[in-house]
Amino acid sequence: MADVSVTAGPVFGRRDPDARGYFGAFGGRFIPETLVQPVEELTAAYFAARTDAGFLAELHQLLSRYVGRPTPLYEAQRATAGTPVRLFLKREDLAHTGAHKINNAMGQVLLAARMGKRRVVAETGAGQHGVATATACALMGIECVVYMGSEDVSRQALNVFRMRVLGATVISVDAGTRTLKDAINEAMRDWVTNVETTSYVLGSVLGPHPYPLMVREFQSVIGAEARAQILRDTGRLPDVAVACVGGGSNAMGLFDAFIDDPSVRLVGVEAGGRAIEPGEHAARFAGGREGVLHGTRTLVLQDVHGNIQSTHSVSAGLDYASVGPEHAWLHSKGRTEYAFADDTAALDAFQWLARTEGILPALESSHAIAWARQFAATTREPAVVLVNLSGRGDKDVEQVRRMLTEKEQTS
């Protein structure tokens, strides 16, 4: 499966935030006092590891021999037949455990092991980060506790079972909105209590410095490979690079390789949910304001009093009230743009890719596919579009079946 002609790996140290963890006005570290020193230690350990030949060799070894990297770049010719668009899919769905999340989980759990931690906690929304962390922990013999909102536990039952099979303890969080936000709250509470023995393996480009940097760098392997692959296959850079954005780790991983290529449009696709109204979506660039959530200053969906709004998306992995600070910064500089796809468009894109290419995209990734589909259907100019197919849709099949049944009954 691995695409042996490409040997690019994650890129470290190319675009660091400032010493306090800021990307422009976004990022930083907004955490309770108990976590400050442990986060300092994590930062020091990470900065040492990313220049350590031994660590990097071990990570590369795991990525190639265990995760199955590089993942292929695939041109979806049937899907775009009759349009002027060449659509290339970066097949992160083919990575071990079925999503890009494994790239980061491998890196962070390897770092935890290097720091002598014997236990990790993680949050998960769709379950992919939880599965990836549970997998890395099983591989490295580390205890793994995953927090998951009770609503997500019920809509992603298969992933809950996978985590348990992998030896992880899954704790259902029945507080607040019962989704990813509350899972992060509870994971942080566990961390603050067990900080001496435990590392927090955060799944997206969120949280206090160094997480947004560290997660982006572990995910930068996606863009590094995709850039080399598309140059190989087309002899040129893409016109557009597209990825769905929940916290935004798969998007940052893809965008990273193209930030310095001004000809490449970078498009993040958020969850439009049912409608762009409070509580009905998770499109932070459409309805968010600057604020602090989970340790970082970024765009947040919130009310006038600063309380975090509930969100809705058909995809658990995009159902979150804030977005990675580096996305907010790149957007403020005009380097990236953000669109949204609603639940229906994502569901349609899921079926469209299945029928035209025989690929079931995750509902998260289906948002990016929906954007590319719409773009291909409306553009008149020839264009090369690169979409990060961040995960596979097997986990979503049962949910899609339910939704399609409901749709049939109501129509």
Residues of the shown chain interacting with other proteins in the complex, contacts defined by CB under 8 A: 20, 28-38, 175-176, 181-182, 185, 188-189, 192-196, 289-295, 300, 302, 304-308
Catalytic position from the list 199, 204, 315, 390: 390
Tokens read off for 273: 């949910």
- Exposed, middle or buried by CB within 10 Å (0-12, 13-18, 19+), for 24? middle
Annotated catalytic residue, options 90, 92, 101, 217:
101
Task: Rank residues 185 and 399 by Cβ distance to other proteins and give the closer one.
Answer: 185
Shortest distance (Å) from residue 247 CB to other proteins: 15
> Least CB distance from residue 59 to other proteins, whole Å?
28
Closer residue to other proteins, CB minimum distance, 7 or 193: 193
Minimum distance from residue 118 beta carbon to other proteins (Å): 16
User: Least distance (Å) from other proteins to the CB of residue 305?
Assistant: 4
Dihedral sign, CA of 222, 227, 231, 237?
positive
370 close to 385: Cβ distance less than 8 angstroms? no
Active-site option among 90, 92, 123, 366: 123
Cis status, amide bond into 212, omega within 30 of 0: no
Q: Can you say how many angstroms the Cα of residue 147 is from the centroid of all Cα atoms in its chain?
A: 17
> CA–CA separation, 299 vs 302, rounded Å?
9
Least distance (Å) from other proteins to the CB of residue 290? 8
Name the residue nearer to other proteins (CB basis): 31 or 105. Answer: 31
Q: Which DSSP category does 71 fall into?
A: P
3-state secondary structure of 122: strand
Q: Least Å distance between CB 209 and other proteins?
A: 10
Nearest distance, CB of residue 178 and other proteins, angstroms:
13
Residue 387 in 3-state DSSP?
Answer: strand
DSSP structural state of residue 256: G
Closest approach of Cβ 194 to other proteins, in Å?
Answer: 7
Tokens 């010493």 belong to 19
Clarify whether 310 is annotated catalytic: no
**For other proteins, which is the closer residue by CB, 125 or 295?**
295
What's at 347, amino acid-wise?
A: L
123 catalytic? Reply is: yes
| Tokens standing for residue 91 | 């097949």
Residues in contact with 202: Cβ distance below 8 Å, sequence separation at least 6, in sequence order:
108, 122, 123, 184, 211, 215
Report the alpha-carbon distance of residue 340 to residue 270 in Å, rounded: 4
Residue closer to other proteins by CB (options 31, 109) is: 31
Residue 17 CA, chain-centre distance (Å), reads 19
Rounded CA gap, 288 and 328, in Å? Answer: 10
Q: CA-to-CA distance for 237 and 227, rounded, in angstroms?
A: 7
- In terms of CB distance, is 201 or 347 closer to other proteins? 201
Helical residues (DSSP H) of 333-391, grouped into ranges: 343-357, 363-378
- Residue 62 burial by Cβ neighbours in a 10 Å radius (0-12, 13-18, 19+): buried
| DSSP 8-state code for residue 4 | T
Active site residue 395: no
- Encoded tokens for 108: 């962070």
Measured from the CB atom, the residue of 93 and 152 that comes closer to other proteins is 152
Q: For residues 113 and 321, which CB has a smaller minimum distance to other proteins in the complex?
A: 321
* Residues identified as active-site: 101, 123, 390
